[in-house]
Structure 1
Amino acid sequence: MLFSILIANYNNGHFFNDCYQSIVNQTYQNFEVILVDDGSTDDSVSIIEQLISNDKRFKLFQNQENRGCGYTKRKCAQLAHGEILGFLDPDDTIEPNALEVMISAHKEFQNASIITSKFDLVDLQLNIIKKGSIGSKISDGKSYLTYGKGAFTAFASFKNSAYKKTEEIDPLMKRAVDQDLYYKIEEQGAHRFINESLYLYRINENSISNNNNTYKAEYWHFYAINKAYRRRKKQKLEIDNFSKKYMSKYRSNYYLSRFEKLKFSKKHHAKFYFLGKSFFANPFHKFEIKFKSLLLLIVGRI
C-alpha cells in the first residue's frame, strides 16, 4: 500500500527539517509526500527544495497566492496517489513507526474509512510537554459529530477510496478543515482508534489552531457542524442526539455567545445582528437573557 503524506505549508519552512527527518526515518518506506506551499512570504520554498531535492518521493507544488487552509489541503488530497492518506503539519513530526502502524491497521480493518491515534504535545525543540491523553474510541452507535471533543486526533489516516466518495475538502474553509473532513469521512465507513501516540504536535504561536482570533475558529467549527447536520439529514443518516430542537438551541447559543463578546463594543449593528439571529434560531431558548439584552441594547446601555 502506498501511503500519501499530505503537507500544507505556509511560512513554516524553518521547522520543516524536523518534519522531513521524521518522514525519511519511517520504518515503512512505501510512501509519497505531497507538499503544497500556500504562497509563503518567508524562505519556506527554498528550504523545502533543498531538503527534498534528492528524494523523488517528495513532490512540491505552489499556490501562486495565499489561498487558505481549505484550498491548499484539498489540493494536497487531489494530487495524492496513495491508497491511504494522512495530513502532517510542516511544524510537527511523526513517530518512526507511524506509517507502519497505520498501514497495518488499514489492512486489518478493511471497513474502516478512518483510523486515528493520540498525539504528544511538544515544545519548539520537540521536548515533550504532555504525553498523549486526548483521543479515544468512539462508543458504538455514536459518531465523531456528537461524541465530543478529542475523539478524533492526530495522527489520522483515511482511505483514498472513502475520501473520493465525499464532497472532498471544502476549499473555502479557513479553519476547522480537518474537523469538517473527518465528519465527511466517517459517513463512508467505520472509525478505528489506535491507543498509541504517533504524532508530535508542536506548540507554535503561528499555528492556525493556536492564535488570538478564537471567534474565527468558533465560526468555522459552527460552520462545519451545520454542514454535517444538513448533509446527514438530507442523506437520512442517523445523527445521534442531534434533533431539530437540539440544533436550534445550539445555533441560538452560538449567536448569543457572539453577541456576548461584542456586548461592550461600539459595533452596534453587529450586536443587533447576532442577538437577532439568536432569537430567530430559537425564540424561547434563554428568552429572559435575550429579551433583557435587547432592551438594554435599544436604550443604549450596552
Structure 2
Amino acid sequence: MLKVSIITPLYNCSEYLEQAIQSVVSQTYQDWEMIMVDDFSTDKSIEIAQRYAAEDSRIKVLQLEKNSGAAVARNTAIEAAAGRFIAFLDSDDKWLPHKLETQIQFMQDNDVAFSYAAYEKINEQGNAVGKVGVPERITYYDLLKVCSIGCLTAVYDTQKLGKIYMPLIRKRQDLGLWLRILKQIPYAYGVQEVLGQYQLRSDSISANKLSAAQFTWKLYREVEKLNIFKASYFFAQYAVNGVLRTKFPRLARSLGVLH
C-alpha cells in the first residue's frame, strides 16, 4: 500500500474533532498518517488530539506558537508529511469508511495526479441534508468560475506533483491550492461516489459567504495575478454560480453548475 498523509488543522474544534479522527481510524485503507496542527486553540482540542496520538502512532500532533490561520497550519502539516498522497480533512468533517481505499484506487487505476469526490452535507444533529455532486473533470478556468472541489475530498500525488502548499491568505486558501495544482496539470478528476460528510455550522452563514467572496476576489487579484478585467469576469461567474447553487439548485443542475 502507498502511504497517505492526512492534513487536519485544529482551532477550537473540540465539539466535532473526535468524530473526524474516528472516521480516519475506521478507514478500510490503513496505510496513513494523520497530521493535526493546532492553531493555538483555547478549548480542549489539543488534549483530544494528543489523547488519540498516544493511542495510535499514525496520529501526530503539532502546535503553532500563535494563532496563524488555517493556511499556515495546513502548510506546516504538508511540510511534515511523509506520505506519497496528501489528503485533507477538516476537524469538523468526516469520511466514510471506504473513502481512502476508493479514491486511492481510482487515482492508481486512472493515472490521476489530483482527485476529488462527491460528498454529503450534514446538519448539527448528524443528519444528511443534501448531496454535493461533482463534475468528472475540472480545469483551472472551470475552478475560477465555481469551486467544485470540497476540501474534505481533495487528494494529490506528491510523486507526480511534488509538495504544493497553500497561499498564505486567511480564507479560500484551499481554492488557491487547487488552482496552483491545475497550473501544472490540465485536469483534476472526480469520483462520483459520496465519500465524505461536510458539517454545516449554524454560526453566521451569510457573514461567512460575504467574507468568502471578499477573499475570492483577493485570491484572483493578489495570488493569481489576474488583471482587473479577467478578475471581474471570473468573479461575476463565481457570484452568479454561487447564487444559483444556493437559491436555485434545480436550475443550477440544468446549467451544469451543480452535479
Return the offset for 1:152: 2.0
SS of 1:40's partner is coil
Q: Does 1:181 align with 2:177?
A: yes
Deviations 1:191-246 (A, max 9, x none): 11110111100112359xx4625433222111222356438xxxxxxxxxxxx684
- The answer for unaligned runs of 5 or more in structure 2 is 238-259
Whether the aligned pair in 2 keeps the contact of 1:117 and 1:195 (CA below 8 Å) is yes
Q: Does 1:219 align with 2:214?
A: yes
- Computing the radius of gyration from Cα coordinates, the structure with the larger value is 1
Aligned to 2:123: 123
Return the offset for 1:102: 1.4
Aligned to 2:16: 15
C-alpha distance in 2, partners of 1:96/1:6?
A: 17
Determine which structure has greater relative contact order: mean sequence separation of CA pairs < 8 Å that are 6+ residues apart, divided by chain length.
2
Aligned to 2:154: 156
Aligned to 2:198: 201
1:5-154 residue pairs with structure 2 within 5 A? 5-110=6-111, 112-130=112-130, 132-138=131-137, 143-146=141-144, 148-153=145-150, 154=152
Q: Do the aligned partners of residues 247 and 17 (structure 1) sit closer, same or farther apart at CA in structure 2, a change above 3 Å counting?
A: same
Whether the aligned pair in 2 keeps the contact of 1:144 and 1:183 (CA below 8 Å) is no
C-alpha distance in 1, partners of 2:142/2:231?
A: 20
Aligned to 2:3: 2
TM-score normalised over the length of structure 2: 0.81
Give the alignment's Cα RMSD to 1 decimal: 2.6
Q: Do the aligned partners of residues 245 and 103 (structure 1) sit closer, same or farther apart at CA in structure 2, a change above 3 Å counting?
A: same
C-alpha distance in 2, partners of 1:248/1:2?
A: 38
- The answer for unaligned runs of 5 or more in structure 1 is 232-243, 255-302
Q: Do the aligned partners of residues 10 and 211 (structure 1) sit closer, same or farther apart at CA in structure 2, a change above 3 Å counting?
A: farther
C-alpha distance in 2, partners of 1:58/1:67?
A: 22
SS of 1:145's partner is helix
Which of residues 220, 223, 230 is equivalent to 1:247?
230
C-alpha distance in 2, partners of 1:66/1:248?
A: 30
TM-score normalised over the length of structure 1: 0.70
Return the offset for 1:149: 2.1
Q: Which runs of 4+ in 1 moved over 4 A?
A: 251-254
Return the offset for 1:145: 3.1
Whether the aligned pair in 1 keeps the contact of 2:37 and 2:64 (CA below 8 Å) is yes
Return the offset for 1:50: 1.7
